Amino acid sequence: MKSIMFIAPPAAGKGTQAELIMDQYHIPHISTGDILREISKEDTEIGNYVYETLASGNLVKDEITYKLVENRLSKKDCKNGFIIDGFPRNYEQALKYDEILKKINLKLGYVFVLDIDEKRLEKRITGRRICPDCHAVYNINEENQKPKIDSICDDCGGKLYQRKDDNLESFQTRYQMYLKKTAPIIEHYDKKGLIYHLDGNKKPNEIFDQIIKIIGGE
Ligand code: AMP
């Protein structure tokens, strides 16, 4: 199984697609945002720094991010494919990612780009709720993505929470950064013939069907 990368603005649904792929193909989902959120809970100097940076919507220092990506991808469970989500986020990180993969003998694979309207993203950001226990993602602004019981996870009964950076102010910082810094790396992967565009305005299961067709069709 080739590795899979997602390039998408915040709340475009990359986490949801990554979880669906993980269940179907049994490969790990590596989200730099999730790993950093775990680090932000630690009461250490790095933990406190990461906590503040995440809340502001700015990027965490490269030296921290690179180390965590290399360490995580070096684990045995990545040998048969993995999904990377949230990294790389700019051109420098894309070049560093090429270097890291070479060093640990892994390859680039599919690069999925989720294209989606800004207004829809705003609606998703303010409605997104997450289960802290099983990481299921819900959206109270989308009829078909609400939990059955208010604030409770359908799958495991966990108490849903809202991410600290899921507000309109932080969204604008993250979205503008995506447009200026992350979107331009699409060209880097396009030159390598790895890019697949997906319509992020569609329902999660329709997007997933597109992904399966692409993966299955190779
Ligand atoms: P995400 O869950 O991908 O939206 O990421 C949440 C936050 O984690 C971002 O707003 C950044 O503060 C931080 N973060 C995630 N990935 C990276 C990265 N590749 N480089 C630097 N900071 C990151």
Q: How long a stretch of residues is the chain?
A: 218
Ligand 1 mutation target, pool 41, 59, 100, most atoms within 8 A of CB:
59
Distance 102 CA to ligand 1 centre (A): 23
Instruction: Report pTM.
Output: 0.87
Positions annotated as catalytic residues are: 14, 89, 128, 163, 174
CA diameter of the chain: 47
Report pLDDT for 1.
Answer: 83
pLDDT exceeding 70 applies to what percent of the chain? 99
Q: Is the Cα torsion angle 146, 152, 158, 162 positive or negative in sign?
A: positive
> Comparing C-alpha atoms, which of 205, 186, 188, 206 is closest to residue 197?
186
3 to 10, 112, 178, 204: CA distances (angstroms): 21, 11, 22, 20
Phi, psi torsion values for 5, nearest 5 degrees: -120, 145
Q: Is 89 in the pocket of ligand 1 (CB under 6 A)?
A: yes
Which pLDDT score, from 0 to 100, does residue 27 have?
Answer: 95
Give the position, in ligand 1's atom list, of the atom nearest the Cα of 36.
8
Cα(49) to centroid of ligand 1, in Å?
13
155: confidence class by pLDDT, cuts 50, 70, 90: very high
User: Which residue out of 67, 84, 85, 89 has the highest number of ligand 1 atoms within 8 Å of its CB and is therefore the one to mutate?
Assistant: 89
Domains of the chain, earliest start first: 3-116+172-216 (3.40.50.300)
pLDDT in tens, 73-127: 999 999 999 999 999 999 999 999 999 999 999 999 999 999 999 999 999 999 9
166, 125 Cβ separation under 8 angstroms: yes
Q: Are the C-beta atoms of 122 and 215 separated by less than 8 Å?
A: no
Q: 65 CB under 6 A from ligand 1?
A: yes
**Does the Cβ of 10 fall within 6 Å of ligand 1?**
yes
CB atoms closer than 10 angstroms to residue 27: 21
